[in-house]
Amino acid sequence: MSVRDFAEHLGVAIRTVSKWENRGENIALQPGTQSMLDVALERSPDDVRSRFSDLVEAPVARAVPAEAGAPPSVVVPVLVDGRVVLMPLPSSAALLSMLPGGRPDETPSAGSPGVEIERRRALGALALGAAALALPEERPGRFRVGMGEAEAVLDMVGHLSRMDQRRGGGHARSAAVEYFTTHVAPLLDGNFHDENVRRAVFSAAGELAYLAGWMAFDSGEHEAAWRDFRTAVQLAEEAGDAPLAGHVLRAMAHQAVDLGQPSRALQLAQGSVDGDRYAAAAPRERALLGVVHARALASAGRDAEAAAALNRAEDDLAAAESGDEEPARVFFFGEASLAHETACALRDLGDLAGAGAQFTRSIRTRNTSTFTRTHAVTLGYLGSVQLRQGDVDAACDSWSSSLDAMQGVDSGRTRQVVLEMRSALAPFRRAKLPAARDLDARATDYLDTVSAAVS
């Protein structure tokens, strides 16, 4: 294929391809252009992909030495006119280069070579149209996409998010994935009215991918959650939506904390509060980013920094006002949520009295009919703290209330609360404590019910 043919195949000017060749490894592509080339390769015939593999000794990216003080870039091999050109990712993609490409239970490797290739394969699987990413002009055969489409996606995200908050991620995740696949992915390959619409659509798609990831996390499907979160970060980057990228990194840090991965949690949490991801966020979202950062610091044993981060999160939430322009995705985060996350950080720091007080504050201030799932989890966490403090009766009361709140909730986190409760109560069950035996029977019924619903 000649340079002219390759340019026509991609739908770009001949001089654009010539510029890529001339600049070689020194070129810095826009994220959309890089994705266009990646998807073009994905859609190539088998013989072309085979030639590509033969020309490249190993189909992975390699690190390029960066200037002093600059983050390392990553290059990927691209087939141009029968030969390989190594094209570096732009510095704006450095955020994603720190995200491991494997499962969430693997040790992270900042800047690992396979990260970006794996990321773009995932995007190809989500049907991101090549030309739509790079070319704003209209193309024959593509449907028009306006701001209304982005608003409709956000409306659906809001509906699904409220279902998640009330009933748990297990109830609506399949609906979120189906909606993304059948409705949202095709929008990304449409003709956008203008650049503002393109950004809005990619941002809305990022919100939906994030929500699908969050539902998977809540359901205990951690590998699926990790993939969805990474896709959401990429979509946020394409949209230029730094606060959304921070929001997703915060969720990934939360997942890492829950999985007992303090190093990864801290890496992700620090990324979530870096630069415009924190600075451009609304006060309410800053508080959310900050309190999860505090949890990551606590999990890493950095007590003083965790305490400072908790204070800053309190200040940020206090600065939030009813008239603030803030994204709908933070509708759930208020005093009750801040208290819950603060309690988790204090518990991990060994301050059981402080943790108990904050869990109680969370329970007292939460709208339980709207945020049922988290209310059940908070009560369960409080019971665990009370038992560690030696108050068995109070723990049993809290766990009983937690089981009451769990009815109709399909959540991996509520299931984990029940499993941990049964384990903690085992000695008291053997001692034939009536409350412990009653709770165990109810816990068994709950686990049987949710297992039957899943099967």
What residues pair up with 73 in beta bridges, in sequence order?
64
Pair of tokens at residue 390: 């030696």
Pair of tokens at residue 379: 């009560």
| CA 88 remoteness from chain centre | 25
| pLDDT number for residue 201 | 95
What residue type is assigned to position 221 of the chain?
E
Pair of tokens at residue 56: 């490249």
The structure's pTM equals: 0.72
| pLDDT number for residue 12 | 60
Helix axes 14-23, 3-10, angle to 10 degrees: 120
Q: Would you write out the chain's pLDDT as a tens digit for each of its 455 residues?
A: 566 666 666 656 666 666 666 665 556 555 445 555 665 666 667 766 666 666 554 433 333 333 333 333 333 333 333 333 333 333 344 444 445 445 565 433 333 223 333 333 333 333 333 323 333 444 454 678 999 999 999 999 999 999 999 999 988 899 999 999 888 988 888 889 899 999 999 999 999 999 999 999 999 999 899 989 999 998 999 999 999 999 999 999 999 999 999 999 999 999 999 999 999 999 999 999 999 999 999 999 999 999 999 999 999 999 999 888 999 999 999 999 999 999 999 999 999 999 999 999 999 999 999 999 999 999 999 999 999 999 999 999 999 999 999 999 999 999 999 999 999 999 998 888 999 999 999 999 888 887 655 54
| pLDDT number for residue 42 | 62
Q: Can you tell me whether residue 189 is helix, strand or coil?
A: coil
Per DSSP (E only), the strands in 331-417 are none
| pLDDT number for residue 323 | 85
Give the length of the chain: 455
Spatial separation of the C-alpha atoms in residues 188 and 134, rounded to whole Å: 11
Distances in whole angstroms, Cα of residue 282 to Cα of each of 88, 156, 252, 270: 33, 22, 20, 18
Buried b (16+ CB within 10 A) or exposed e, 12-22: beeeebeebee
| pLDDT number for residue 186 | 87
| pLDDT number for residue 455 | 44
Q: What residues contact residue 106 under an 8 Å CB cut-off, 6+ apart?
A: 100
DSSP 8-state symbol, 410: -
| pLDDT number for residue 188 | 87
Q: Can you tell me whether residue 41 is helix, strand or coil?
A: helix
Helix (H) or strand (E) holding 192: strand 191-192
Distances in whole angstroms, Cα of residue 151 to Cα of each of 82, 147, 202: 43, 6, 11
Spatial separation of the C-alpha atoms in residues 153 and 306, rounded to whole Å: 36
Strand order in the sheet with 73-80: 62-64, 73-80, 83-88
Distances in whole angstroms, Cα of residue 65 to Cα of each of 69, 74, 300: 11, 9, 30
User: Nearest 5°: CA angle at 319, between 314 and 322?
Assistant: 120
Helix (H) or strand (E) holding 80: strand 73-80
What residue type is assigned to position 172 of the chain?
A
Spatial separation of the C-alpha atoms in residues 391 and 38, rounded to whole Å: 59
Pair of tokens at residue 293: 């950062």
| pLDDT number for residue 193 | 87
Please spell the DSSP secondary structure of 82-110, one letter per residue.
TEEEEEEPPGGGHHHHTS-SS-TTSPP-T
